[in-house]
Amino acid sequence: MSFGKESAKGKKEGDLKEFWHFGQYVEDDAERRKEYPENVEVKELDQFNKVGKETYQMLEKTAKYVLRALALYLNLEETYFDNYIHNGNSILRPIHYPPIKQEPKNAVRAAAHGDINLITLLMGAQGRGLQVQRNDGEWIDAIAEPDELMINVGDMLSRHSNNKLKSTIHRVINPPRELWGTSRYSMPFFMHPVSEMKLDVLESCIDEDNPKQFEDITAGEFLNERLIELGLIKK
């Protein structure tokens, strides 16, 4: 995705970033394979696609076990999410935040937002800037140390759990002026389910103190709505 194309929900200014996508590698479902675009082969960089696929599948497996733990927390069967995420529309996104060459007009490297998907796995980025918002509204730096993963709850899981698991609002701020000439790199893995998964609020997450907060919708419908809001597809 070219520089400045994507913007956060409700923001006119494009984020100061560009990125590449590795999508799902469907090997056992011909109909599902038709649903997703093919991964582009990069011939100019030796091993690029091979390493990208290996990284994608490793993080997808890791995310599956994270979701199993979350399923138990939500009083569901441990493997509740397994069928929904098998061949899901997940994305590995290497991101480049280029050097800032002039005074940004209300634009930041990534404006405050919640991710669309179920969960996001974040590895340590090259360069600081990532912040998450606490419940009291305060922003704090979020730094994954070596051999650590940071895990964000996405909007889909937030809806499904009726905000029992709240979406992680986060942003990437611009560096101090003296560091404008430096790039920042990160590589999040966005765990998505298949499009037909129903994100209807779980009955176990509804009670008098926490009534149903979200309308029924499928993952595919919700993804489409959000991509329109982000300016990535047209209505």
**pLDDT (average), residues 160-173:** 93
CATH code of residue 186: 2.60.120.330
Asked whether the predicted pLDDT for residue 223 surpasses 50, the reply is yes
The string of pLDDT tens digits covering residues 10-53 is: 545 556 678 899 999 998 899 999 999 999 999 999 999 999 99
Asked whether the predicted pLDDT for residue 1 surpasses 50, the reply is no
Which domain covers residue 108, as residue numbers? 18-229
Instruction: Indicate whether 13 belongs to any domain.
Output: no
Query: Which band of pLDDT confidence, cut at 50, 70 and 90, is reported for residue 154?
Result: very high
pLDDT at 80: 98
Instruction: Indicate whether 132 belongs to any domain.
Output: yes
Instruction: Indicate whether 211 belongs to any domain.
Output: yes
pLDDT at 67: 99
Instruction: Indicate whether 109 belongs to any domain.
Output: yes
Residues contacting 197, CB < 8 A, separation 6+: 84, 218, 219
Q: Which residues of 80-118 are buried (b: 16+ CB within 10 A; e: fewer)?
A: bbeebbbbbbbbbbbbebeebeeeeeebbbbbbbbbbbb
pLDDT at 11: 47
Instruction: Indicate whether 6 belongs to any domain.
Output: no
Instruction: Indicate whether 100 belongs to any domain.
Output: yes
Instruction: Indicate whether 11 belongs to any domain.
Output: no
Instruction: Indicate whether 123 belongs to any domain.
Output: yes
Count of structural domains, the chain: 1
Asked whether the predicted pLDDT for residue 176 surpasses 60, the reply is yes
- Point out the least confidently predicted range of 136-140, 142-146, 192-196, 204-208: 142-146
**Cβ-contact 171, 111 below 8 angstroms:** yes
Quote the CA–CA distance of 183 and 129 in Å, as a whole number. Answer: 11
